[in-house]
Chain A
């Protein structure tokens, strides 16, 4: 059996297990819309922790963290992981618990229902709907594109007669279209039958899978490199800048010396050094705004509402930073080691390797067994699917409850009709996403993720003010949403539609400017317009 075939068999078994889990969770389905969309608000601490963590950690946590560490060194942990540990828990604690409480009291299922009530505006949903869905769809695409690409990259040689290709790397590989289709279908089946309970169970299972596999991969690779100390020592010799948060003059000297040696004799030098990279303190600081997106993710809003009680939030609030650390530290170290890893007198990663996101896959393929390679593929797919499922369900939920249920049928749909419409919309969204993913295959996943997260984060002032500032007004909310959308669009265009990956505004991440503008618009407009009614204040802030 070829390594590609072993990967296919392991992935097929894993997907089969997920389907079985979906079918099993559907046996607990009570047939009501509250059960389909909110698991009858009965999810306890452990499932809530796993579903929130699985949903917020995408493929980027495994593949992207390794790739970014390969390119920029250890600073990726401080920029993304430790900030997320602080900010995500803050969002769960300060936003999630309050929204859960209001949702339980007033029967909300979607964010738009809450904002309509809080801002005394039926039409705010019409403004928010295209923005929220417009930001979720790229997020969905990231998952579908990544899953098709991962399967194609890691199953090369599996079926050369069935899937021949001129490119030797992809000869016999499961084609991108087929891989993406299978993943969409599996997610669709367990979301269709299990609703949010099915996604919570699947997320818990998948989170355990990708955490365990990440750690096992780390130990196997460290062992192959002669132990973790030896692996780090090689980086110190060839690319010391990757071991610091920012490059120094000494790193520049090592780089110049090593590069000259490599140009003189490539075989003798073995490793071509990587150019040292620096990050300013201001840019490092303003990365903190990106994880604020968690406060406005509609799929997280839905997960928050599934909690059995406010106490269910305790474990997620406390354990989330530790879970992030367990996944990210090994991946960052693997990415850093990859810059200078040598096996059999040759570099593990070839010089001028163009695709940083493929670094983890190459390390695993060259340094571990085909069996572990197959399991790691399943782990990466687990990380992807644990986000995809919640997003598919939440878009279906918004369409059903806000557009069809509220605006088109004026809240006259029966409970069974809501479940039916919800399921049909999930099918439609999976189909539409799949078709776009086929057409936009070459779109860069990283810039799409950063700009998508920045868009959600720029709406954070809206949800924060709605919960903590009585004086915020309907017009203030409109001003916040419209300003965020306009500034986001202008900066996105300025960055060459995300092509310029190091695009900064006055030395800061663009998201800082967008949040500044949306907050200013919200505060200023609220202060000069009519305050909300006493009834609304009492409804949301009364004892």
Chain B
């Protein structure tokens, strides 16, 4: 899963190049957002989803000094 998530992030960086709608305006999303801009906003949303997957499946193990596991420090907020 870890490799798949990183592979998808690399894929996202590739498709960021917008091979499909590079010089197109239509269809306007919600009637006013040009397709190219909507596509790039979509890239931002997919980036957030992929990084959420990275947090779940690729979280670094054995981090030194992680006080989250130490109840004395109150953990995370």
Contact = CB atoms under 8 A, between A and B. Distances in A.
B13 A288 contact: yes
Interface in A281-319: 281, 284-285, 288, 308-312, 314, 317-319
Contacts of B73: 308-309
Contact of B41 (A77, A228, A336): A77
A74 interface: yes
Contacts of B34: 74, 232, 243-244, 336
A91 to B, nearest CB: 11
A104 interface: yes
B44 A324 contact: yes
A322 B51 CA distance: 11
Name the prevailing secondary structure of the A interface residues. Answer: helix
A412 B62 CA distance: 33
B47 to A, nearest CB: 4
Interface stretch (A78-86, A116-124, A454-462, A474-482): A78-86
Interface in A225-250: 227-229, 231-232, 236, 240, 243-248
A75 B24 CA distance: 12
B37 A74 contact: yes
Interface string B25-68: 10010111110110011011101100110110010101111111
A303 to B, nearest CB: 16
A149 interface: no
B17, B30, B64, B73 — most chain A CB neighbours (10 Å): B64
A322 B41 CA distance: 9
B2 interface: no
B54 A86 contact: no
A271 B62 CA distance: 62
Given A104-B64, A333-B37, A244 B76 contact: no
Contacts of A102: 64-65
A93 interface: yes
A285 B19 CA distance: 12
B76 A97 contact: no
Nearest to B68: A309
Contacts of A248: 23
A32 interface: no
Interface string A325-354: 100010011001000000000000000000
A281 B43 CA distance: 17
Nearest to B66: A310
A245 B23 contact: yes
Interface string A244-275: 11111000000000000000000000000000
B25 A244 contact: yes
Interface string A173-214: 000000000000000000000000000000000000000000
A231 B31 CA distance: 10
Interface in A63-102: 74-75, 77-78, 81-83, 85-86, 89-90, 93, 97-98, 100-102
Contact of A319 (B48, B62, B63, B67): B48
B52 A318 contact: yes
B55 A321 contact: no
A286 to B, nearest CB: 11
A85 B43 contact: yes
Interface in A137-170: none
Contacts of A244: 22-25, 34, 36
B63 A310 contact: yes
Contacts of B77: 44-46, 308, 312
Residue in B43, B51, B74 with the greatest tally of chain A CB atoms within 10 Å: B51
A209 to B, nearest CB: 22
Q: Which residue among A101, A102, A318 has the maximum number of chain B CB atoms within 10 Å of its CB?
A: A318
Given A81-B44, A314-B55, A317-B54, A86 B9 contact: yes
A86 B36 contact: no
Contact of A325 (B22, B41, B68): B41
A236 B25 contact: yes
23 contacts: A46-B77, A74-B34, A74-B40, A77-B37, A77-B40, A81-B40, A81-B44, A82-B40, A82-B47, A89-B48, A90-B51, A98-B63, A101-B65, A102-B65, A228-B32, A229-B31, A245-B18, A245-B22, A309-B67, A311-B68, A319-B48, A320-B51, A321-B47
Q: Which 5 interchain pairs have the tightest Cβ spacing?
A: A104-B65, A44-B77, A309-B68, A228-B32, A105-B64
Interface of B: 9, 12-13, 16-18, 21-25, 28, 30-34, 36-37, 40-41, 43-45, 47-48, 51-52, 54-55, 58, 60, 62-68, 73-77
Interface of A: 41, 44-46, 74-75, 77-78, 81-83, 85-86, 89-90, 93, 97-98, 100-105, 227-229, 231-232, 236, 240, 243-248, 281, 284-285, 288, 308-312, 314, 317-322, 324-325, 329, 332-333, 336, 543
